[in-house]
Amino acid sequence: MRIVDIRELTVPIEADMSNAFINFSKMDVSVLALITDEVRDGRRVVGYGFNSNGRYAQAGLLRTRVIPRVLEAAPDALVDPATGHLDPDRIWAAAMRDEKPGGHGDRAVAIGILDMAAWDLAAKLAGLPLHRLLAGLEIPGRPPAAPAEKVWVYAAGGYYYPDRGIDALQDEMRGYLDLGYRTVKMKIGGAPLADDLRRIEAVLAILPDGCTLAVDANGRFTQDEAIAYGDALKAYPLHWYEEPTDPLDYAALAELAARYPGPLATGENLMSFPDARNLVRYGGLRADRDVLQMDPALSYGFTEFRRTLATLYDAGWSPTRCVPHGGHQFNLAIAAAMPLGGCESYPGIFAPFGGFADGYAIEDGHVRLPEEPGIGLELKASLGKVLHELAA
């Protein structure tokens, strides 16, 4: 069994919306197909991957370093002798050959794209849905656990749009409730504090009992701004206050955590397991309420996320405190497998990469997973079309 070709393509996911830090009108994604010589049911087995929204396509790194290294590796070096199958860990190691430690960033995204494809391939070769394959893996510190049959998801939206006011924000949130979500999230920090408080109050006013609101500052605030917002946000029953400070400013986060009583959430812009380890070591976060959002698809893939999870077990954190950023079927499968506390979801945006398999409705804030082998990316028809065109 060998990889015969690796193809990548850059696809735009442009949208004229903004968070506190960036506008998405030039956003794009890399899609990758890992094509093998293996044929099952008359079709060539192909693994697919892409990067989560919010980081750009990685065509350059994929073309010049990641893909050539995997194609140049001795075919046997990529195969697990125990199974005879192409092995994600070995593919990962080949792609990271001659890379120094540190310097995480776009490289972590490029490797994450390959890693998603490698796990999709591994699950297809094993004839298992990815969440069932991953649930059987050994991770130091992890007690044996059956995969969850459904995963808690929340609707991430509430961006700033040039032509939308508070009424439109309320309508957007009502739409998420109608879809079955019970927790919604909106952006803050892109408007003055007083305006953001009006937006928050407007959303809280339309939420029925049992539904909650999270807010996300996208790493925008200085320590003083984060604390000023925190002092104001304390008055509201928020699900969490997300990414108040720069992702790597652990001291500022710790200052905020010492005085903000509600749950804090962060981690989506940590691109490696050493960064995640520093977050739990130095960020002042509280294992009984705070939320870790490291996104495997943006940070060297599940192969690296296993190391992160082992670190969390070691530090006394439950994986149920993890709710990855990303909003796609790969992170959903990881969330079901470990199991984690939940997974982000982007209803209606970042198409066709955001969202889950077609026909799996949100029910009371949870979603079930398909049982077809692989991640199940092709089960979303609009995404499957892009993937199949790349491999054809």
Tokens at 168, concatenated: 């439109």
Query: How far apart are CB 232 and Mg ion at their closest, in Å?
Result: 19
Pick from 266, 262, 304, 268: which is nearest to 283 by CA? Answer: 266
Query: How far apart are CB 96 and Mg ion at their closest, in Å?
Result: 27
Name the residue nearer to Mg ion (CB basis): 22 or 137.
22
The answer to whether the annotation marks 100 as part of a ligand binding site is: yes
Candidate ranges 44-52, 95-103, 167-175, 213-221; the one touching Mg ion (CB under 5 A): 213-221
Tokens at 30, concatenated: 């890399």
Name the residue nearer to Mg ion (CB basis): 38 or 216.
216
Q: Please, which residues bridge with residue 79 across strands?
A: 86
The answer to whether the annotation marks 268 as part of a ligand binding site is: yes
Q: Please, which residues bridge with residue 44 across strands?
A: 39
The answer to whether the annotation marks 185 as part of a ligand binding site is: yes
Write each residue from 170 to 209 as x if it is in contact with Mg ion (CB under 5 A), else as -, in one continuous string: ----------------------------------------
The answer to whether the annotation marks 19 as part of a ligand binding site is: yes
> Of 215-234, which residues contact Mg ion (CB under 5 A)?
216
> Could you tell me how many residues of this chain bind Mg ion (CB under 5 A)?
1
* Residues 268 and 294: beta-carbon distance below 8 Å: yes
CA dihedral sign, ordered 226, 230, 231, 233: positive
Candidate ranges 129-137, 214-222, 348-356, 362-370; the one touching Mg ion (CB under 5 A): 214-222
* Residue nearest Mg ion, Cβ-based: 216
Candidate ranges 89-97, 210-218, 305-313, 346-354; the one touching Mg ion (CB under 5 A): 210-218
Question: What is the helix (H) or strand (E) element at residue 135, kind and residue range?
Answer: helix 130-135
* Residues 296 and 302: beta-carbon distance below 8 Å: yes
**Identified catalytic residue from 104, 325, 328, 380:** 325
Name the residue nearer to Mg ion (CB basis): 216 or 304.
216
Told to check if 344 binds Mg ion by CB under 5 A, we report no
Query: How far apart are CB 19 and Mg ion at their closest, in Å?
Result: 7
DSSP state of 97: T
The answer to whether the annotation marks 218 as part of a ligand binding site is: no
Name the residue nearer to Mg ion (CB basis): 125 or 253.
253
- Separation of first and last alpha carbons in the chain: 20
> Does residue 325 have an active-site annotation?
yes
**Identified catalytic residue from 104, 124, 131, 187:** 187
Full DSSP string of 178-245: HHT-SEEEEE-SSS-HHHHHHHHHHHHHHPPTT-EEEEE-TT-B-HHHHHHHHHHHTTS--S-EE--B
Between helices 193-206 and 223-233, what is the axis angle to 10°? 40
Render the burial of 182-192: b for 16+ CB within 10 Å, e for the rest.
bbbbbbbbbee
The answer to whether the annotation marks 234 as part of a ligand binding site is: no
> Does residue 187 have an active-site annotation?
yes
Tokens at 104, concatenated: 């995480």
For the annotated catalytic residues, the residue numbers are 187, 325
Binding site: residue ranges?
19, 53, 100, 159, 185, 216, 242, 268, 325
List, as residue ranges, the binding site for substrate: 19, 53, 100, 159, 185, 242, 268, 325
The binding site for Mg ion (CB under 5 A) comprises 216
**Which residues fall in the annotated binding site for Mg(2+)?**
216, 242, 268
